[in-house]
Amino acid sequence: MPRLDVVRDLAPVASLTTQQIVLDVIPAVRARTVPESVAYARANPGRLNVGNSGHGTVSHPAAELFGQATGSEFASVPHRGAHPGRVRRHPGLDGAHPVGQPAPAVAMPAAFSASATARRALARRVGEALDAIGFLVITGHGVEPRLITEVQRVSNAFFDLPLEEKLRVRRPAPGVARGYIPLEAESVGRSQGVDVPGDLNESLMVGPVDVPPGDAYFSGPAAGKHFHPNLWPERPAELRAPYEACFRAMGDLAAGLMAMFALALDLPEDFFADKINRHISRLRVRNYPAPLVPSKPGQLRAGARADYGSLTILRAEDKPGGLQVLNRAGDWVDVPIAPDGHVINIGELMARWTDERWRATLHRVVNPPAEQASASRRLSLVFFHNPNYDAPMEALPGTVAPGAAPKFSPTTSGEHLRAQFLRTQV
């Protein structure tokens, strides 16, 4: 079908209304004015969509007329859904993804061994997703499905133990991110300054698994509790090996993602390498039991919060009462669970590094509907990737506009993480 030419193909009959049209540009475009938007569109023909509220609506011919009047090439896309028609295109992916939708999907097969050109192309797509919402779903990530299945198996066996046995490896202190945390003993919503009841989940948490003995960096006063020994339960006896293997695999994946992030930020690919080579990350497996009693007012499976570190890798089950993310329109939307896919999101430290070009998006885990409660037990494998404890947290080159001041005061990875750990304890 020939493209509509609103000047050639439409004739004015009557003016029934006068309506203002607002050009709403997503962050990935990096344009603040109409001339800047037009210049970007001319320099990147075919990369931009203009969303409209449906064929034949006012915004449809308005967008076409805008493109023709400015000599810009846009693709007009009717929005399907309840939100305004703001859409974005991910080159190489299937179709256009509405900004109101969470977690665009990015396939990453052999990404880290691909050519430099291919890695930069992938990094651009990752950066566009993070510009828009701070979340994405990756497949082809290289983490063995058999490893994930084994971690899930031994974790369910641990959480099925009597409470008194699980408490033998209870977290020893609020500032120590190790061990078992029982139901309602933590309220992650408090990290946002909101006093809400304890979360309806229990968890088992481990930290670095390959700590060199005798190295003062890992054991000296400056290290604090960031390399505290892991607490391993007696049962199941086979739990330790898959947890350690999973920590290493997720650490390798996170390092590759950080290299992608560097390219997306127009930095050298190895920019973050010396800031994460002694990372203080955590692998945390969370069990969300099927609820047996009504929740307290304001109580959720996990309260609304942003993660604290550089990035988070999540592997979750598709069960009632799942993950939601707060999109830029202010709506809570479900995050889809892709088979063998990992959900990736930005944490507060990456937001500091990028001066909030990439934002640490609020997310939560909601309670299941009452009619689905009996089938809602849910297990999540979460890898919180955190830079070296002494890594400086300040705005990276090119992230602060000329003449503007950074949004955050300088700190370090370790200082920020410890403060957030302490705030969330019940």
Domain ranges of the chain: 1-92, 145-423
In this model, does residue 35 exceed pLDDT 80? no
CB under 8 Å, gap of 24 or more: what pairs does 76-81 form? 76/49, 76/50, 76/52, 77/49, 77/50, 77/51, 77/52, 78/51, 78/52, 78/53, 78/54, 79/51, 79/52, 79/53, 79/54
Which of 57-61, 96-100, 194-198, 227-231 ranks highest by mean pLDDT? Answer: 227-231
Residue 88 CA to residue 103 CA, distance in Å, equals: 12
In this model, does residue 176 exceed pLDDT 70? yes
User: pLDDT digit string (tens) for 392-423?
Assistant: 999 998 899 889 999 999 999 999 998 887 77
Nearest to 347 by CA among 266, 276, 296, 249: 276
- Percent of the chain residues past pLDDT 70, beyond the cut: 73
Taking the complete model, does pTM exceed 0.85, yes or no? no
Class of domain 145-423: mainly beta
For residue 286, give Cα distances in angstroms to 159, 183, 255, 302: 9, 10, 23, 10
Which of 7-11, 107-111, 193-197, 342-346 ranks highest by mean pLDDT? Answer: 342-346
What local confidence, expressed as pLDDT, does residue 118 receive? 83
In this model, does residue 29 exceed pLDDT 90? no
User: pLDDT digit string (tens) for 87-125?
Assistant: 333 222 222 232 334 456 666 654 555 678 888 888 998
What local confidence, expressed as pLDDT, does residue 165 receive? 98
What local confidence, expressed as pLDDT, does residue 113 receive? 57
What local confidence, expressed as pLDDT, does residue 151 receive? 98
